[in-house]
Amino acid sequence: MTVSSGDDQVLESNSVIIGQAPLEAVLFDVDGTLCDSDPLHFHAFVEMLQEIGFNGGKPISEEFYIQNIAGKHNSDVAAFLFPDDVPRGLQFTEEKEAMFRKLASEQLLAIDGLYKLKKWVEDRGLKRAAVTNAPRENAELVISKLGLSEFFQAVIIGNECKHAKPHPEPYLKGLEALDASKEHTIIFEDSTSGIKAGVAAGMPVIGLTTRNPANLLLQAKPAMLIKDYEDPELWAALEELDKKCA
């Protein structure tokens, strides 16, 4: 799924990706990009917010979650959910992350085609880093569960930077950690805040419609949208990238 329909738009989207040749590095978000973890986060928020009587005790909707919580840093989530008591909000998010880790340790699945893309990246000797707003404990658990601990050469955490996504700093830190150039790097992301961060950092972003609707992601200006890593349009672009490199 490219940013808009029609052969001209497909070519335009591909040309943005191909323009990064020779490709040097690939940066990946974690939640929703390596694995479909949003349902686990959503479940944890629904259950724990109900327990404390948020929204009058009514479960939050998936739309509310996508608009206000998904992809955002925990400090922003805490301030949004508990505007009059941010310290309580931060404690709440810590407890929610512990619940997520319990669920993730039992139920985590990779995005379709992830290991096919992993092999493509490894076969070309590309540098790679994970860049996420998730707490380090979460990110390392997910990466380990997916068998990617040896794959990633760096893991950049938003709350360990001065600014988290949607600020570009985490992605710029990823480039710095890999000693890579933004002119030869692409990013995979699934949230508006992540796409905005990558675009602001000066790199083309391939967005995944894992859980967030395409019309919402398009507002952040990704170079391309794909369903998952089996998407034929992704592989058409990567094939053209290979040809240009050759």
Q: 71-109, pLDDT tens digit by residue?
A: 788 999 999 999 999 999 999 999 999 999 999 988 899
Query: Is 85 designated active site?
Result: no
**Which of 31, 38, 190, 231 is the catalytic position?**
31
Query: Is 31 designated active site?
Result: yes
pLDDT score of 170 more than 90 = yes
Work out the average pLDDT over 185-193. 96
**Which of 8, 29, 123, 179 is the catalytic position?**
29
Query: Using CA of residue 208, residue 211, residue 215, residue 218, what is the dihedral sign?
Result: negative
Query: Using CA of residue 130, residue 136, residue 138, residue 142, what is the dihedral sign?
Result: positive
Q: Using 50, 70 and 90 to split pLDDT, how confident is the model at 30?
A: very high
* Three-state SS at 111: coil
% of the chain with per-residue pLDDT over 70: 95
Domain borders along the chain are 7-36+109-245, 38-107
Q: 194-230, pLDDT tens digit by residue?
A: 999 999 999 999 999 998 899 999 999 999 999 999 9
pLDDT score of 7 more than 50 = no
Domain 7-36+109-245 has CATH 3.40.50.1000: yes
pTM for this one? Answer: 0.86
Q: 35-59, pLDDT tens digit by residue?
A: 999 899 999 999 999 999 999 999 9
Distance of CA 16 to the CA centre of its chain: 19
Q: 60-76, pLDDT tens digit by residue?
A: 999 999 889 987 889 99
Can you tell me the distance from the alpha carbon of 151 to that of 137, in angstroms, rounded to the nearest whole number?
Answer: 18
Q: Which residues contact 60 (CB under 8 A, 6 or more apart)?
A: 45, 46, 49, 54
